[in-house]
C-alpha cells in the first residue's frame, strides 16, 4: 500500500473557518477482496471516516446550497 500512495499521493486540503481551520487528509487502511484500496478520511480530531459517511456530508452540503439558493430567490434573506 505504501508503494501506491508514493506513486499516486492521496489528496489533502484545509478548510478555513472564521475562528479556526480544519485539515482534511485521506489514508489507505486496507484492500478489499477485489483489490480496491479501502480509504478513510481524517478531519482534525475525527479519524477514520469511511467514504460512505463522506457521501452523507456531500449530500448535506448540497442541501445547504439548495436552501441558500431558495432563500435568495424567494427574497427571504436580505
pLDDT in tens, 15-42: 999 999 999 999 999 998 998 899 999 9
pLDDT in tens, 32-75: 899 889 999 999 889 999 988 999 999 999 999 999 888 888 87
Structurally, the chain folds into a number of domains equal to 1
Q: Residue 28 class from Cβ within 10 Å (0-12 exposed, 13-18 middle, 19+ buried)? A: middle
pLDDT of residue 29: 92
Concatenated DSSP letters of 26-58: EEEEEE-TTSPEEEEEEETTEEEEEHHHHHHHH
Please give the residue range of the domain that contains residue 62. Answer: 2-74
- Does residue 3 sit in helix, strand or coil? helix
pLDDT of residue 73: 85
Amino acid at each position: 500500500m505504501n508503494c501506491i500512495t508514493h506513486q499516486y499521493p492521496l489528496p489533502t486540503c484545509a478548510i478555513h473557518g472564521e475562528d479556526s481551520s480544519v485539515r482534511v487528509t485521506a489514508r489507505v487502511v486496507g484492500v478489499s477482496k477485489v483489490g480496491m484500496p479501502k480509504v478513510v478520511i481524517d478531519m482534525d480530531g475525527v479519524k477514520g471516516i469511511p467514504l460512505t459517511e463522506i457521501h452523507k456530508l456531500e449530500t448535506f452540503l448540497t442541501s445547504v446550497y439548495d436552501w441558500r439558493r431558495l432563500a435568495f430567490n424567494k427574497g427571504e434573506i436580505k
